[in-house]
Amino acid sequence: MTLVLDDIRNFKTQAKNRRDLRRYESAVRILDRAIALAKANLPNGELHIVMAEELADCYAILGGVERRWALEVSGEERHLHLVKSIQAYDRAWEFESGDYGVVNSYGMLNRLVSRLLLKPDSLFTDGQTNFGENVTPLSMRDQLQDAAQRIQVQLDRPRRDDYWAMADLALVNVLLEKEEPEVAYAGFLGKTPPEYAFKSVLDVLKPLAELKWRLADKIANAMKYLDRPVA
């Protein structure tokens, strides 16, 4: 099983390298191989959680690849890749929210971010929003409220001091207009995260700041607040 895990993790590294080179199609193919291998080796017993974590991570990385791809194209092609991004993040969330013992908010939050990029007005709509064929409809505000509660529970125990969790909670609070960016991201900054964490957070914020919606200025302010030299 160790060799299988090594292969999956090597595939993930290769996919990230292709993604960073904007070779998205190749990254997707590699992740498909990683996912197939992980699914074939999802056992019962002590390695169950480990393999479920790998599957959640593979699907989340795939969601990110498809979203980056979407942001570089337009029209129907953008729509197609955003839908694929949502579907991949939804699969990651299935492992995070299931009985596997996976403790993360990666898929949980990003499945909502990709939906907002597809339909920004869904954040200000009462009840469920229909995002189109093959995408699960959701009530975005309800889901964001639920995400905030879940992340806070994670921060209280298993992810205490986790700057990724703090960044996720901060984004939820900004989207729900509960806190100004300076307040929301104070916990994240307080952990002096590494430079790559800042870059990852800014990469999520940037397309949200570019949307034509009422939160554009607030999210742009969050980017300005975070775009600083790392100590």
Domain boundaries, the chain: 1-104, 119-231
DSSP 138: B
CATH of domain 1-104: 1.25.40
Out of 33-47, 126-140, 187-201, pick the least confident. 33-47
pLDDT in tens, 183-227: 999 999 999 999 999 999 999 999 999 999 999 999 999 999 998
With vertex at residue 81, the alpha carbon angle to CA 80 and CA 83, rounded to the nearest 5 degrees, is 70
**Three-class SS of residue 231?**
coil
- Mean pLDDT for 126-131 is 95
- Mean pLDDT for 52-73 is 97
- Mean pLDDT for 60-74 is 98
